[in-house]
Amino acid sequence: MKLKTGKWMAALASVSLLATVTACGSTSGSSSNAAGGSPQPQNNTSGSSGAKHEWKIALSNSYIGNSWRSEMVKIFQSYAAQKKADGEISSYFVSSSGNDPQAQINEIRNMISQGYNAILVDAASPTALKPILDQAAARGIVVVAFDNTVDSTKIYNVNTDQLQFGKIQAQWLADQMHGQGNILEINGVEGTTVDRDRQQGYQDVLSKYPGIHVLQKGYGKWDEAATSVLMNNMLSAQQGKTINGILSQGGGEVATYKALNQNHIDPSKVYMTGEFTNGFFRLMSKDNVKGFAVGQPPYLSAASLDVALEVLNGKQVSKSVMIPLPQGSYKDASKFYVSSQPDDFFVDWTDAKNTYNLKLNDILPGNK
């Protein structure tokens, strides 16, 4: 994918303005359940002008243990509520089954039996879910996988280029280190397509720099708590060795910073990569951290709903839809940092034009 980095550097600079938008009211309109429960489609009681559609939409999420997933689900719920109010869909449902492929398969079976017209999927496994998703597609259900996509020609995939995500991060780190030094590698959730492709991107770049040594690697699960444990364990195991860089997929940037401090390593002397978390940009803008962020926008769930509706309404849609990768660094961190939001907030919650008409209060954790 050709990255339109200039466009996105300018586009995401408007996040601070977007963050001032407040909700006009609740958009609650779907339910969630644990793995194995039966989804209950809601009746369309919202009135609107124009033709009504009886499309029923389900979102099958897997892992829910980090802020990105929570934000992604809230974005879907907010956008789906708009679509319901506008008469474009009749009902929607969300399930988070955990990072257990079989549990997610069971949940998708329930969605099929309940007659959903489209199923959006953030998959626990790119291979284990393929048969059930192909089965759903064969029954005429529109299946859209996003974020952690699925290798199938029968379904639609919406994502950023995860291979490029890894390559961009690794190349930035190699450039800052002039191709020499020791690094720690923090990956995401094991077994997912996102983690697989990002790691491949890392390997593709680092193989060109024999002077860069990966002392240790592990899975931070794109999560602060998991990254904290991992970082402290790795720093303890590598005690006495100089750490020049942290190659991290993201989601645990503040934990990484704290672990370095706790182990008497000056974070301002260690180059770091990460994702578009508010905490990372705070550290870059306030604490002299030399960091670089690449984003995986949580509004992929809203983009996937648009794709599903286009297909349901008879439009021709590419089986692979790519969203540009936002990028930012310590050199322009002030453009992205939103002082009113917590560290774990993902600042790329909508695009510059607010295409999905999202309101900040509707997508914050705990808001209904």
For range 327-355, the mean pLDDT = 92
For the chain, what is the mean pLDDT?
A: 87
Decide: 125 and 191 in contact? Cβ < 8 Å. Answer: yes
Decide: 329 and 284 in contact? Cβ < 8 Å. Answer: yes
Taking only the tens place, the pLDDT of each residue in 135-188 is 999 999 999 999 989 989 999 999 999 999 999 999 999 999 999 999 999 999
Q: Looking at this protein, which amino acid is placed at residue 216?
A: Q
**Alpha carbon distance 20, 39 (integer Å):** 35
Predicted confidence band at 25 (pLDDT cuts at 50, 70, 90)? very low
Give the pLDDT of residue 363. Answer: 87
For range 281-293, the mean pLDDT = 98
Q: Is 256 helix (H, G, I), strand (E, B) or coil?
A: helix
For range 24-40, the mean pLDDT = 37
Predicted confidence band at 312 (pLDDT cuts at 50, 70, 90)? very high
Taking only the tens place, the pLDDT of each residue in 90-130 is 999 999 999 899 999 999 999 999 999 999 999 999 899 99
Decide: 251 and 67 in contact? Cβ < 8 Å. Answer: yes
Give the pLDDT of residue 117. Answer: 98
**Alpha carbon distance 125, 253 (integer Å):** 25
**DSSP-assigned letter for residue 40:** -
The model carries a pTM of 0.78
Burial of 206 (0-12, 13-18, 19+ CB in 10 A): buried
**Alpha carbon distance 272, 67 (integer Å):** 20
Taking only the tens place, the pLDDT of each residue in 296-311 is 999 999 999 999 999 9
Decide: 15 and 336 in contact? Cβ < 8 Å. Answer: yes
Give the pLDDT of residue 320. Answer: 96
**DSSP-assigned letter for residue 328:** E
Taking only the tens place, the pLDDT of each residue in 61-87 is 998 878 889 999 999 999 999 999 999
**Alpha carbon distance 354, 360 (integer Å):** 11
Residue 65, phi then psi, degrees to nearest 5: -90, 20
Q: Looking at this protein, which amino acid is placed at residue 183?
A: I
**DSSP-assigned letter for residue 271:** E
Decide: 338 and 19 in contact? Cβ < 8 Å. Answer: yes
Domains present along the chain, CATH in parentheses: 23-160+299-323 (3.40.50.2300), 162-294 (3.40.50.2300)
Report percent pLDDT > 70 for the chain.
85
Q: Looking at this protein, which amino acid is placed at residue 7?
A: K
Q: Is 364 helix (H, G, I), strand (E, B) or coil?
A: coil
Distance between start and end Cα atoms, the chain? 37
Cβ atoms within 10 A of the Cβ of 300, count? 24
Predicted confidence band at 193 (pLDDT cuts at 50, 70, 90)? confident
- Which of 212, 224, 222 has its CA nearest to residue 184? 212
Q: Which H or E run includes 85?
A: helix 67-85
Give the pLDDT of residue 73. Answer: 96
Predicted confidence band at 235 (pLDDT cuts at 50, 70, 90)? very high
